[in-house]
Amino acid sequence: MHRRVLVVFVDALGPSQLEAAGGLGGLPYRGRLRGILGYSCGALPTLLTGVPPARHGRMCLFARATDGDGVLAPLACLGFLPRVLHERSRVRRLAAWMLARRAGLTGYVELYRVPPALFRWLDLPEREDLFTAERIGGAETFLSEARRAGLRVFAAPWQLPEDARWAHTEEVLRAQRPDLAFAYATELDGALHRTGNGSADAQRATRRIAARIQRAAETLRAGGGEVTTIVVGDHGMADIGRVIDPRGLLRRLHGVRAFVDSTMLRVWGEDRALARARELLEGAELPGQWLDTRALEARQAPTRGAPHGQALFLLQEGALFAPSFVGGAMRGMHGYDVDSPSAFAAVASDTPIPETCRALTDVAPWVRSLLGLSVPSVLPPGDRGNEEVTWDVV
């Protein structure tokens, strides 16, 4: 009987969160992985494909539409509603649901607090369900490769609420004993955002996750044969020490398009306008730094076509833009520079972690080798990969 693999993806499991959780059920082999610049919507594709954001094109939830209207354009009409109405979470959820149905989006669709006028030029790169998609921005996921190789693959439906998703996961592991199982825990990320590191909420979440991982591994092992468990995060979490209201800065930014995420202010515009934006942001004595296209390239961020900004001002770890276009003040946040402690992801296993597994990009090759899958196929960028597939309006 061949080896089976259980991958448990725990959102916001960084090295310090893993240690605080006692190794999540005591998995003996632990390591840290270099993360990416951006948020989970960039980290998860990297984890699944083994290629950096520069190749798969994902980094932030919202990108600039590159050609004509993006998929979000119809939502600009929300601007006709009074702000107290269109900013209500129920109205936003309904609009997101209608958009997803109308445009056939199966990925994560959430509108947060994006000002309606911006929907005219914004796009959502994540059009597909990452766990069932064959490719993400041209790069094949290890889930898809395993399916193509004829293995039995289970990927937890991320759309389900946490408890229901885990109940479903255990049921499928028991009944089908897949060769590759991909489980998904989101509640630690939510708890850390709300209440910060070390909070009772976060501790309860990690205890539940540890118990669930143990049960899932035992269930899979009960079927006989060798099972390898890999628990992996996408980034960690930093506690917020300083909140910066970006609204005054936005009013003074002229001649550029700007998008404010929780930790970065991204801009698009002509060279001179970008230079003025840089001067303004650097002169505002914010904790952080300006990253131009070259600095983004050095971090393997997607730069061709500048979907996520021609340049951006990235806050230092522990600082937060609030209110931003994606949320308000919180106790914890991630999305800082790649060398920040919170930008590292944790990995833990019941088998020794290969020496070569040092970054988020290295997990997919490890899973492939455990399952005996062949070399991954990545479409060359500029062919059908990356830009065209990822953010062009088709």
Residues lying near Zn ion in the complex (CB under 5 A) are found at 189
Q: Which is nearer to Zn ion, 44 or 296 (CB)?
A: 44
Q: What is the dihedral of CA 210, 216, 218, 222, to 10 degrees?
A: 180
Q: How buried is 272 (Cβ within 10 angstroms: 0-12 exposed, 13-18 middle, 19+ buried)?
A: exposed
Q: Which is nearer to Zn ion, 61 or 220 (CB)?
A: 61
Residue 203 in tokens? 């501790």
Least spacing, CB of residue 57 vs Zn ion, in Å = 20
Q: Which residue is nearest to Zn ion (CB)?
A: 189
Least spacing, CB of residue 39 vs Zn ion, in Å = 7
Least spacing, CB of residue 314 vs Zn ion, in Å = 16
Q: Which is nearer to Zn ion, 268 or 321 (CB)?
A: 321
What is the end-to-end Cα distance of the chain in Å, rounded? 45
Least spacing, CB of residue 235 vs Zn ion, in Å = 8
Q: Which is nearer to Zn ion, 86 or 193 (CB)?
A: 193
Say how far apart CA 377 and CA 147 lie, in whole Å: 14
Contact 346, 11 (CB under 8 A): no
Question: Who's near 230: CB < 8 A, 6+ residues apart?
Answer: 5, 6, 7, 8, 347, 348, 349, 363, 366, 367
360: left (phi over 0), alpha (psi -120 to 50) or beta: alpha
Least spacing, CB of residue 189 vs Zn ion, in Å = 4
Q: Which is nearer to Zn ion, 126 or 189 (CB)?
A: 189
Q: Which is nearer to Zn ion, 196 or 381 (CB)?
A: 196
Least spacing, CB of residue 44 vs Zn ion, in Å = 11
The stretches of 222-259 forming alpha helices (DSSP H) are 247-252
